[in-house]
Structure 1
Amino acid sequence: MSVTLITGAANGLGWALARSCHARGDQLLLTDIDDTLLAQRVRELGDERVSAVAGDITDTQLQQRLLERCRERFGRLDLLINNAGITHRSPATRTDPAVFRKVMAVDYQAPVELSLAALPLLRQSQGRIVTIGSMAGWLPVLGRAGYCAAKGALSQFFEVLRAELSQDGIGLLLVYPSFLDTSIERHALGADGQPAGHARSTIGKVRGAEWMAEQILQADAAGRERLFPDRGSRLASLLWRIAPGFYYGQMSRRFAGELPH
């Protein structure tokens, strides 16, 4: 029976992943900053295979508590899913730098620190790491400068880490979703760090969390290294590389609502 640790597990994609992993028989350790909702999720799953530790994933003490719980409760860790994330919708020139620091801390620093701290357990089990990146880490999106930067850094770090772990028997899957119907966008920050006051702009089909969770677990089970689940985003990424001027024009029209007026 595999032991799976999921961050950002009380909402959206994290909760969809938790339900899917539970349905296939995994023992779960869930974490989320929303302690009330996290406790409710544990009750919904409703058996002794599920444990939870609430807190801010950027807190290194929480990260240590999570790994200690893995050792004490389950004696192992087979799969770490770095899912917790935050975004913003605000022009870079008008955004408080504290917003960029928060986005970078949650989306880049926390998964890096937790993954490195988890390596001893993952080496023992020859386990796997799944990290949720974004197509925003591959191509620029107006109004998301901090998010694009954080996801770009995340991608580069874990691509390098994969090579460094190649002799340790630890697998690593990087997931590059596009637009999902999850709480990360509903909780997006605005320029002042408060909830964003305008609706998001999107390109292509907005996918559901359950669909995305299924794609991720299938890719992980197959031992894949990267998952690009959205064809439209792959085409946009190619366009950005071969015709950046044209891409900028299309992006500027599609995301005009993100620009200051």
Structure 2
Amino acid sequence: MTADSPTPPDDPTRRVSRDDLPPAPPPWQQPGPYSPPPQGLPQYQQQPPSYPYQPAQYGPPRQWAPQPPPPAPRVRPSLWWVGGAWAIAVVCVAVGVGVFFSGVVGGITSAAPSRTFVAGETATVRLDPAQEAVLYYSGPNTDYSCKSLGAARLERAGGSQTITLNGLTWERLATITVPSAGDYQFLCTTGQEQGASRFGIGAPLTGVVSGTGMMLILCGAGLAVGLATTILVVVRRRAARRRLLPSRM
């Protein structure tokens, strides 16, 4: 081989120079960044760029509903206290009226004469000093007189008091006082119409007084509860409104 003859390509001792490289293609034929690779080279599928975070999802704008105003604070105490107090007052008045009528009916029943007799008749009655006795008269307006036939004493009653039971009206004449328990006799006479006049011995009319007292006590207590509760609730509600007024402004 001569010095001008080309060195075989498989000669490892041969040195490659710039003149040995093939000429470069013109610029319009050079591969770009997105052009396919030259033939003979492996083709790799381009992977899309990866992001470390998922893109945010944006939906339609949210519609904000107007918020209702906060409820006004309640004023204490409630007016139900007034209603409850007056309900108690009504109950007390009703009970008081019922006690009064019960006392009247019971007093009349217990005070009515248990032993009756006509004028000119001698009546024997068992009496006890622990129980007060009363002499009654029922009949026309006429003169009459009564006396005790023993140790019993008749004391004329002051004032006028009448009771009506079973169609008969009894008028109180006198109170009877006895020294000890036992049987006592009485005799009464009238100037005229003795057959129409009747006398009787019963008890004093005390149930009416006690019933009236209970009615007054119950009615007064009910009204006092109603008035006191109403005044207290009104005063405290007014003070509560004054305290809440600056917070509303």
Structures share a fold, TM > 0.5? no
User: If each structure's helix is expressed as a fraction of its own residues, which one has the higher value?
Assistant: 1
* Greater relative contact order, per chain length (Cα 8 Å cut-off, separation 6+): 2
Larger radius of gyration: 2
Q: TM-score, normalised by structure 1?
A: 0.19
Q: TM-score, normalised by structure 2?
A: 0.19
